């Protein structure tokens, strides 16, 4: 396990150094996107329309934050991760088209995303579910909000963060997926547990 501190824009070469179980802190631009923002971004791409900002080398964060406006300035009050599996249907295209290097969320992602990360060079960083204040603390500035018509949780928030993390690299760019590994281990352990409890499978 190694600890990496990377600044956006992150290069493909840097992201390829990371392996599952490594710990990553991201400094720079982190953009939130949930289901709706993913869908709209891919629609824009299909229509040849540019996104409000280039996502190349940035981190995308599965998060519906609680934001508060103080004067004309937005502040992130609570910004924990949401369950990433919902974005599995979009993420491979998203990585391919927009060249994001880090996807941040909780709960892990599936094979489609894992394959895209290997092919185009990206990692999945698991952030602790519920650690909303820890996340908000690392967000030093809210640069802007795009697509606010989608509502506060679904809008695309552009954060400037300092050492956002710890993110556990749970999918690396070499086809490894920590969540899949854990599932395999758990399946093996299940038989031991059944035995211990005197149950037949």
Partner 1 sequence: MDTAKIEEVAFNILKQAVIYLPDDVRQALKKAYAEETETGKIQLKAILDNIELAEKSQAPVCQDTGTIIFYVKAGDKAKNLGKVEEALIKATKKATAEVPLRPNAVNPFTGKNSGDNTGRNIPFVNWEITSGSDIEMTVMTKGGGSENVCMGGMLVPGEGIRGLKKFVVDTVIKAGAQPCPPTILGIAIGGGADISMKLAKKTLLKPLTEHNPDPEIAALEKEIYEAANMTGIGPMGLGGKTTVLGVHVDFAFRHPASFPAAVAFNCWASRRASALIKADDTVEYLTRKLKG
Catalytic residues: 38
Phi, psi (5° rounding) for residue 80?
-80, 165
- Pick 22 or 92: Cβ nearer partner 1: 22
Minimum CB distance to partner 1 smaller for 46 or for 77: 77
Q: Output 11 or 183, the one with its CB closest to partner 1.
A: 183
Closest approach of partner 1 to the CB of residue 63, in Å: 9
Per-residue exposure over 53-84, b if at least 16 CB sit within 10 Å of its own CB, e if not: eebebbbbbbbbbebeeeeeebebebbbbbeb
Q: Cα(1)–Cα(18) distance, rounded to whole angstroms?
A: 10
Nearest residue to 171 via CA among 115, 131, 133 = 115
- What's the min distance (Å) between Cβ of 193 and partner 1? 5
- Decide if 85 contacts 54 (C-beta within 8 A): no
Instruction: Provide the binding-site residues for partner 1, judged by CB under 8 A.
Output: 1, 21, 23, 64-66, 77-80, 83, 106-108, 126-134, 136-137, 166, 168, 170, 178-179, 181-183, 185-187, 189-190, 192-194, 196-199
Least distance to partner 1, CB of residue 64, Å: 8
User: Whose Cβ is closer to partner 1: residue 55's or residue 170's?
Assistant: 170
Cα 143 to Cα 24, 30, 121, distances in angstroms: 22, 10, 26
CB of 123 vs partner 1, minimal distance in Å: 14
């Amino acid at each position: 396990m190694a600890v990496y501190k990377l600044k956006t824009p992150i290069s493909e070469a840097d992201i390829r150094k990371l392996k599952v179980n490594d710990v990553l802190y991201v400094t720079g631009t982190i953009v939130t996107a949930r289901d709706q923002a993913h869908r709209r971004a891919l629609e824009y791409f299909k229509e040849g329309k540019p996104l409000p900002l280039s996502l190349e080398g940035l981190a995308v964060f599965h998060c519906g934050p609680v934001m508060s406006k103080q004067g004309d300035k937005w502040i992130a009050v609570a910004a924990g991760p949401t369950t990433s599996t919902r974005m599995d249907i979009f993420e491979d295209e998203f990585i391919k088209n927009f060249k994001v290097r880090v996807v941040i969320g909780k709960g892990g992602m599936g094979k489609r995303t894992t394959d895209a990360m290997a092919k185009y060079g990206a990692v999945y960083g698991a952030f602790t579910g519920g650690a909303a204040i820890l996340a908000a603390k690392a967000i030093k500035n809210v640069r802007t909000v795009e697509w606010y018509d989608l509502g506060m949780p679904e809008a695309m928030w552009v954060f400037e963060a300092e050492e956002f993390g710890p993110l556990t690299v749970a999918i690396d760019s070499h086809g490894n997926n920590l969540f899949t590994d854990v599932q395999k281990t758990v399946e093996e352990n299940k038989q031991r547990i059944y035995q211990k409890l005197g149950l037949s499978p």
